[in-house]
Amino acid sequence: MQLKWLEDFVALAQSRSFSRAAELRHVTHPAFGRRIKALELWAGAPLIERGSVPLTLTAAGVSLLDNAEQILGNLGHAREALQEAAGRQASTVTLATGRTLARTLLAELMPRLKPLLAQGELRIVTRSQTETAQMLERGEAEFMITYHHPLLALRLNAKQYAHLTLALDKLVPVSRANAQGRGLHSLAGKTATPYLAYDGSMALGRLVQDHLANNPHAPRLQRVIECDSADTVHEYALKGLGVAWLPWSMVAGACKAGQLVLLGDAQLEVRYEVRAYRAKHRMNALAERMWQALAPR
């Protein structure tokens, strides 16, 4: 049995998609499928319910997943402990998060962390939500800052990981303002409104897609652009290319300045938390001080 097979299996269980998991693991779809089959041969039992949509695990798969996450986490933490003993980790802290959060909330938190930067280096890595969780589990990051919403359930063992709620935010529909200060686009028109969508692999994309699909008050929309960057969607909204659901923390300034206009009412908003996660075991001294600095005041 190869360690990478367990990493493959964890990625598959978290993404619930062979193609997405293969992409995350940087292998071709056929090669990824062969590695999962090799793991099943080693386990002596099917791990995946073939034909289920979305993908689900068998009872044996659920059992193996719990053990695999613990094994990978323990190996990562052991590696971290060895590196710290060698003096290579004592003055470096890695924080994994998404690109949008790095630009918005994390930037706002930096004044709290700035006094500690004289004691070492903060390494910020931006990845997808699934990848940041894997980095935390493998001990490659001390902290993870991510979105929390029932739709975005993370498979982090509460016995092994702690979290802080850093902020409450919401996705709001906005349009560029016209010369009269009203929305260039409307959600109440008879024709479909141009819609700037997120890529479905993004956490924000999954939130908006689910919200619109299950909201009886959802407006008629016509997707005109899809993008995997909230910053880019923001810029396109400012240029008047369509309506976008963007974090209030990102667009509050533009709305107050009259560049963007909020559309609809609270029924069209998607509320969520932003959380910081860490392993419960003792971290290096700098990381512990940074965790204390992140705590809401």
With 90 as the cut, is the pLDDT of residue 207 above it?
Answer: yes
DSSP state of 98: -
pLDDT classification of 89: cutoffs 50, 70, 90? low
The predicted model scores a pTM of: 0.69
Domain with CATH 3.40.190.10 in the chain: 168-271
The strand pairing partners of 123, in sequence order, are: 94
- Is the distance from CB of 269 to CB of 171 less than 8 angstroms? yes
How many contiguous H segments (helices) and E segments (strands) does the chain have?
A: 11, 9
CATH code for residues 168-271: 3.40.190.10
- Nearest CA to 144 among 129, 157, 158? 129
* Whether the Cβ atoms of residue 243 and residue 215 lie closer than 8 Å to each other: no
- The boundaries of every CATH 1.10.10.10 domain in the chain are 1-82
The pLDDT of residue 85 is 64
Lowest mean pLDDT among 80-84, 116-120, 155-159: 80-84
- What is the fold of 1-82? Arc Repressor Mutant, subunit A (1.10.10)
Q: Using pLDDT thresholds of 50, 70 and 90, give the confidence band for residue 194.
A: very high
